[in-house]
Amino acid sequence: MRTHKVKGLIFLSTIMLGFVLTSFFGASMSITSPNSASQLDQTITEDLVFLNSTSPIIDGNLTSFEGEWENATIYNTEFGSGNKALTIRVLANETHLFMGINYVSSIFIPVNETIPIDEDFNNETHTWYTIVFDRNYDGVAGSELTPDDAIVINYRVEGAQDAYINGTKLNSIAMDVDISGIENSYANVSEYEDDFYNHVVTIEVVKELESNDEIGNDIDLHASESIFFAIIVAENATAIYNRTLLGEIDAFTPWKKIQFVTLHDYFSYVEDVSDLDVLIFISESEASNYDNLSSIVVFLLNYGANVTFNFDHLDHDINYRSLSHLDLLILVGAHPNLSVDEIEAIALYIASGGSVYILADPVSKNGKLNQLLSKFGMEVYSSYLYSTDTAINSSIKIDSSDIESLPYMMGTNIFTDQIVDEILYTGTAINFTSTLGEGKFMSQEGDLYPIINLTGDYYIDVDDNGEFNAEDIELNDTIVQAGLELQRGGRLIVTSSADLLNASYIAESDNKIFFLRQIQWLMKLQNAINFENYVVEEINIIEGEAISVSVEVRGDNETVLTDLRAWVVVQELKSDKNNVTLTMHEDKINFNGTITSEDIKANFVDVSIRLHQRGYGYNETELVEVFLEAIIGRPISIEVTATIIFVISIGLAVLGAFAIKKYKKPEVEKIEKGK
């Protein structure tokens, strides 16, 4: 007995000790956490920049008025072989980006103001600064196809100049002379010597977030978007650098990320993107390789998703078990190495509620990618798409009128709030092998539809000669992106070319916005239909009666939905048998209908309400089990059946009595044996 008591005391003490240690270490962790540490001048120490700042005075003084930079996000970095400390403060509003930079150094050589500003100053030795914005998301300063945006300070003239880094020439930092936009970069530099003869340098900069320049070298940033930047602090140096040298110079700070944040009011199943797992599976080609598509990884990592990257030529394990935990699968390229089992696993993943984004390459009709797509009513052509207008064949421009009006393209978005105006595209096209609209896919209700439907005269260049001839396929309806939504939650978007997101196109703002809006929908972060009221008035019904059903429906943020379908699904033995479309009232919120019982065969059914609007996905309420009072719809009525059973039972009773009488042993024999 004492042993049991001792064991009980030990067990109780262990639990209490666990609580104490948990509380202690929890408190210790909260004290040492950077998020809870005291922050100087109320600054934000993460990479989030809120678009609600008061504009600072750009005069080279960080304290022109009280609290001028107090709400700034602070970046602490370094430059040079001596690891000189550099502090960057960042503020923003909806139109402008503000940066305050300060550092201390023993070197500061100002620009020679006596030399005329229209001469080339690349050979002049002085201290100059460049803020580089990685607009193509490749982690390097400039490229041949997509120059990076830049601000040059104290380089050719005092103040700041709009510039770009082309990455090819020796003088790769070039002035942006496009005057069609509204670029308005301005900077002011102040410098003084402290008591130790060090130069204390302060720089304040303002930059337009959206310049609308026609050449397209400037960044175009909005709420919820992000950008990487770095600063070149060139002390006693010239500006003769090509792309390779820029990456090697000692004055380059590490890349830092700015993510613009605004207050959102949206409905979301998952608000923490870090809980989401994404697999990017690439089959490499000229258009689909990692260098060309690194922006996809950068975007997803920027928003905190858990991203895994794999190539089809490496060891991998694509099966339903490995896919089932994913929130998004991105397939890139033609994937000629897909096995039959992998195709079935991906199809089952989509059919079971998974989300897949496909960036295809041209592939033969019987190619492995088309074997997968054929299960969902579509295929991609084996050659590139061209316009009969040869002037636009280098890249096709798709304006908003060619993009299906879908909720995730129009409404509030947790990744970006901007509207797509025009995207650039090069690649092949999609051919539908199933009837568009509502239909059966993978043994369930589905909706197959075009997302990008190009207007104009186009053809598939079958012989790859760049000219339209008799062998080519002329297209009346040109689809370059398609969507499929399945009743069990599966979502599929197929783009017929990975080139949509290549390194040059992704630097264009609209291509980036287009991708981000579709990704958030596939990850089911937004766009849900809310059931405010769901009523099934009758639970037990008999033949000739009906089930009365009503439902009240609203969209995100209590919005009224248009083009909404609402219907009752009657399931007998877990298999869809009857669909009853509900009638929408004039308010477009309330739906009503009835289910008659004449066609119901089973003695119980499950009733559910399904709603669908393209770009929201299918929605389904909890099932309600409805019992029937009588078995209805049978060839023989219940009365006749009962009579037959009664007659048979009497016959069996008579036979039983006869058998007992025939085989029963006389009682007399038992008595005699007992004697």
Q: What is the pLDDT of residues 361-416, one digit of tens each?
A: 899 999 999 999 999 999 999 888 888 877 666 568 888 777 877 888 877 677 77
Count CA atoms within 13 Å of residue 471 on its CB side.
Answer: 9
Q: Which residue's structure tokens are 């070039």? A: 174
> Quick one: pLDDT at residue 142?
72
601's CB contacts (< 8 A; 6+ apart) are 572, 577, 632, 633, 634
Which pLDDT score, from 0 to 100, does residue 342 have?
Answer: 92
Dihedral, CA of residue 247, residue 250, residue 251 and residue 254, to nearest 10: 60
Label residue 472 left, alpha or beta by phi (over 0 means left) and psi (-120 to 50 means alpha): beta
Residue 392's pLDDT is: 67
| 3 state SS of 342 | helix
Contact 480, 429 (CB under 8 A): yes
| Residue indicated by tokens 């100002």 | 110
531 - beta bridge partners? Answer: 553
Amino acid, single-letter form, for residue 123: N
CB atoms within 10 A of CB 20: 10
| Gap between the Cα atoms of 602 and 538, Å rounded | 17
Nearest in space to 296 (alpha carbons), one of 313, 281, 317: 281
Q: How far is residue 119's CA from residue 274's CA, in Å, rounded to a whole number?
A: 51
Quick count: other Cβ atoms within 10 Å of Cβ 5?
Answer: 9
Q: Which two tokens stand for residue 423?
A: 């995207």
* Cα 426 to Cα 497: distance, rounded to the nearest angstrom: 7
Dihedral sign from CA coordinates of 451, 452, 454, 460: negative
Task: Give dist(CA 629, CA 609) in Å, integer.
Answer: 23
Return the H-helix or E-strand segment holding 610: strand 604-613
List, in sequence order, every residue forming a beta bridge with 330; answer none if it has no partner.
Answer: 280, 357
Query: Distance between CA 336 and CA 363 in Å, rounded?
Result: 9
- A 10 A CB-CB count for 530 gives 16
The b/e string for 246-278 (b: 16+ C-beta within 10 A; e otherwise) is: beeeebbbeebbbbbbeeeebbbeeeebeebeb
CA 597, CA 546: separation in Å to the nearest integer?
6
d(CA 116, CA 109): 18
User: Would you say 512 and 500 are in contact if contact means Cβ atoms under 8 Å apart?
Assistant: no
What lies within 8 Å, CB to CB, of 298 at 6+ separation is 137, 139, 228
Place of tokens 């700042």: 53
The three-class DSSP label of residue 282 is strand
Map tokens 């689809």 to a residue.
479
Residues of the chain with pLDDT under 70: 1-46, 111-123, 144-145, 155-158, 167-171, 178-184, 241-248, 262-272, 286-287, 291-292, 313, 315, 391-395, 412, 543-544, 557, 573-578, 598-599, 601, 628-675
The single residue listed with the structure tokens 């009488």 is 661
* Residue in 160, 224, 146, 157 with CA at minimum distance from that of residue 508: 146
pTM: 0.71
CA atoms within a 13 Å half-sphere pointing along the CA-CB vector of 655: 6
Q: Residue 241: CA atoms inside 13 Å, Cβ hemisphere, count? A: 23
pLDDT at 47: 76
What residue has token string 């909720």? 407
CA angle 406, 410, 413 (to 5 degrees): 110
**What is the C-alpha separation between 458 and 337, in angstroms, rounded?**
30
91-to-61, 302, 610 alpha-carbon distances in Å: 15, 19, 46
Closest residue by Cα to residue 484 from 475, 497, 495, 494: 494
Whole-angstrom CA distances from 125 to 174, 218, 232, 235 are 17, 27, 15, 8
Amino acid sitting at position 165? I
Give 496: exposed, middle or buried? Use CB within 10 Å, 0-12, 13-18, 19+: buried
pLDDT of residue 644: 60
Using a 10 angstrom Cβ sphere, with 0-12 exposed, 13-18 middle and 19 or more buried, the burial of residue 70 is middle
* Phi (first) and psi of residue 653, to 5 degrees: -65, -40
**553, containing H or E segment:** strand 546-554
Residue 244's pLDDT is 63
Question: Which two tokens mark 153?
Answer: 């300070």
The pLDDT, as a whole number, for residue 46 is: 62
